[in-house]
């Protein structure tokens, strides 16, 4: 497994591979890897010849500096996981490689109304930062395909909108959410959960599963209200939102006749903010 610190070194490695017709896949991450990330590597291996994983904790997508400071960075653990998974190359640039201090850079693109819904409402500017760094990674790798996890459902939609904005010929693969045995969605943030928080966090999956199991038994309004009731009285759990939305626009679903509906939830558990979702149809 090759490790690259600069865009030039990465491009030099990839150039002959692309010339020989190899299909290149990019798996962008911020590190603190878990089996959900490895599932992205495995999916990439089924659809490409060369797998490049990036590890970069991107400062422009953190709306809270404390969040950036405490983001886990277990790099030796991450590299061991990637090597065991059969990753071909890892791109680990410094911040100055991706954001040269001698250049003034302005980034703002039209991501559509969905940018300001759900996570966009709670984390102003977050998706501008996400699309900014993903565009930089796409420019560095120029992959044929890129892999993202369904857990960040809104993020995937924003990245697809960014691809359309720049007319980039990259195919996006979305990998299903990988869960722990008790149903908790795997996340790099889970490391911050205390033992009691870990137990309380199971309410996210339970409320989503309730909607999936009872979708035909109640109206959309009733389903959302009953799902929200799961959070009543749980110590140290604060619900930010629970919504059944149109998966293409993230606007609240108004009819069960709408295709591509998804239930999305965000809640603060202890001091850790978690998100989760479940595709309904």
pLDDT tens digit sequence for 89-147: 999 999 999 998 766 678 999 999 999 999 999 999 999 999 999 999 999 999 999 99
pLDDT at position 106, please?
85
Q: Around Cβ 65, how many Cβ atoms within 10 Å?
A: 9
pTM: 0.93
pLDDT at position 70, please?
76
Confirm whether 106 is a catalytic residue.
no
Catalytic residue (choose from 37, 126, 165, 192): 37
Report the distance separating Cα 229 and Cα 78, nearest Å. 38
Please report the domains of the chain, with CATH numbers, ordered by start residue.
2-175 (3.40.50.620), 188-276 (3.30.1300.10)
pLDDT tens digit sequence for 58-82: 988 887 788 888 787 889 999 999 9
Report the distance separating Cα 42 and Cα 86, nearest Å. 9
């Amino acid at each position: 497994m090759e490790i690259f610190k600069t865009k030039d070194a990465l491009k030099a490695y990839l150039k002959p591979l692309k010339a020989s017709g190899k299909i290149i896949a990019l798996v962008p991450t911020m590190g603190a890897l878990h089996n959900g990330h490895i599932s992205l590597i495995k999916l990439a291996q089924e659809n490409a010849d060369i797998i490049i994983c990036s590890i970069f904790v991107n400062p422009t997508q953190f709306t809270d500096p404390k969040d950036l400071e405490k983001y886990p960075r277990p790099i030796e653990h991450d590299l061991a996981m990637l090597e065991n998974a059969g990753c071909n190359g890892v791109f680990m640039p410094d911040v100055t490689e991706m954001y040269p201090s001698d250049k003034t850079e302005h980034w703002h693109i039209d991501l559509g109304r969905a940018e300001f819904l759900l996570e966009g409402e709670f984390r102003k500017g977050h998706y501008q930062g996400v699309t900014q760094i993903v565009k930089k990674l796409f420019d560095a790798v120029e992959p044929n395909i890129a892999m993202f996890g369904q857990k960040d459902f809104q993020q995937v939609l924003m990245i697809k909108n960014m691809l359309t904005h720049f007319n980039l010929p990259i195919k996006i693969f979305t990998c299903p959410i990988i869960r722990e045995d008790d149903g908790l969605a795997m996340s790099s943030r889970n490391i911050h959960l205390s033992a009691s928080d870990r137990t309380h966090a199971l309410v996210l999956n339970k409320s989503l599963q309730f909607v999936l199991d009872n979708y035909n038994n109640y109206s959309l309004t009733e389903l959302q209200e009953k799902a929200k009731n799961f959070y009543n009285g749980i110590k140290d759990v604060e619900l930010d939102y629970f919504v059944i939305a149109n998966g293409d626009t993230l606007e609240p679903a108004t009819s069960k006749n709408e295709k591509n509906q998804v239930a999305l939830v965000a809640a603060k558990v202890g001091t850790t903010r978690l998100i989760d979702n479940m595709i309904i149809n």
